[in-house]
Amino acid sequence: MEQAAPPATLANRLRTAGLDPTGPLPVLTALTRGALRPWDLAADLAESVLDECPDTRTVVAGGEHGLNLLISPGPAPDDTALAALPDERLAGFDAVAEGGRIAFGLGAPAADATGLARALEESRHSARLAALRPARLSLVTARALDSHLLLLAGVPADIRASYRRRLIGPLQEYDAEHGAEMVRTLTVFLEHNGAWRTAAGALHIHVSTLHYRIGRIQHLTGRDLSTARDRVDLYLACAIDPG
Query: pTM to 2 decimals?
Result: 0.52
Q: Which domains does the chain have, with CATH numbers?
A: 7-146 (3.30.70), 155-239 (1.10.10.2840)
Instruction: Using DSSP, state whether 110 is helix, strand or coil.
Output: strand
Identify the CA nearest to 190 among candidates 161, 220, 214. Answer: 214
Contact criterion met (CB below 8 Å) for 232 and 226? no
What's the pLDDT at 193?
Answer: 92
- Which residues partner with 140 through β-bridges? 105
- Computed on alpha carbons and rounded to an integer, the radius of gyration of the chain in Å comes to 20
CB 207 within 8 A of CB 199: no
Contact 240, 161 (CB under 8 A): yes
Identify the segments of the chain with pLDDT beneath 50: 1-4, 74-78
Q: What is the C-alpha separation between 11 and 92, in angstroms, rounded?
A: 36
pLDDT for position 125: 80
Q: How far apart are the first and last CA of the chain?
A: 34
* DSSP classification of residue 25: B
Question: CA-CA distance, 139 to 129, in Å (whole number)?
Answer: 9
